[in-house]
Amino acid sequence: MGKFMKPEKVVLVLGGCYSGCKAVIVKNTDDGTSDGTYSHALVAGIDRYPRKVTVAMGKKKTAKRSKIKSFVKIYNYNHLMPTRYSMDIPLEKTVINKDVFRDPAHKHRAQREAKVKFEERYNTGKKKWSFQKLWF
């Protein structure tokens, strides 16, 4: 009796080249727009997860292994699997929005913004599940 496709929800991407990746909903459109009359969501996700880091590794190695490659994409709700997790990450809506996809430079900037914020959050050590690769 409640809507759960909301911003800050962690979802799994089910289709496309990012299938199996975890993503965070940035903006959701439940009723569709003139471009697409289906409910969809703009998500920012993790393409390449940070590698495993152990205590024995030095700072340089840890830094290299903690890098994240991100993506920004619009998905139909049918191609997303919601989870019970959420991640309140302060992604800049001015940088990451639907208009980003028309210009590759803007898209790269949006991906960069997502990457920076994801790495920041990963380094605090919170929300570990979201930064772990989904094994299937």
Partner 1 sequence: MAKKSKKNAGDNINAKLQLVMKSGKYQFGRKSCLKALRTGKGKLVVVSSNCPPIQRSVIEYYAMLSKCGVHDYHGDNNDLGTACGKLFRISCLIITDVGDSDIIKTNE
Selected binder of partner 1 within 19, 33, 61, 81 (CB under 8 A): 81
Residues 15, 19, 20, 30: which binds partner 1 (CB under 8 A)?
A: 30
Residue in 27, 57, 66, 77 binding partner 1, rule: CB under 8 A = 77
User: Binding residue for partner 1 (CB under 8 A) from 29, 39, 76, 97?
Assistant: 39
- Residue 125 CA to residue 109 CA, distance in Å, equals 25
Q: Report how far apart, in Å, the C-alpha atoms of 106 and of each of 15, 36, 57, 71, 98 are.
A: 24, 21, 36, 12, 10
Residue choice 82, 95, 98, 109 for contact with partner 1 (CB under 8 A): 82
Query: How buried is residue 72: exposed, middle or buried, by Cβ count under 10 Å (0-12/13-18/19+)?
Result: buried
Quick check: 1 binds partner 1 (CB under 8 A)?
Answer: yes
Smallest distance, partner 1 to C-beta of residue 30, A: 6
- Side by side, which strands form the sheet with 9-13? 69-76, 40-48, 22-29, 9-13, 80-86
Nearest CB to partner 1, comparing residues 19 and 78: 78
CB of 83 to partner 1, least distance (A): 8
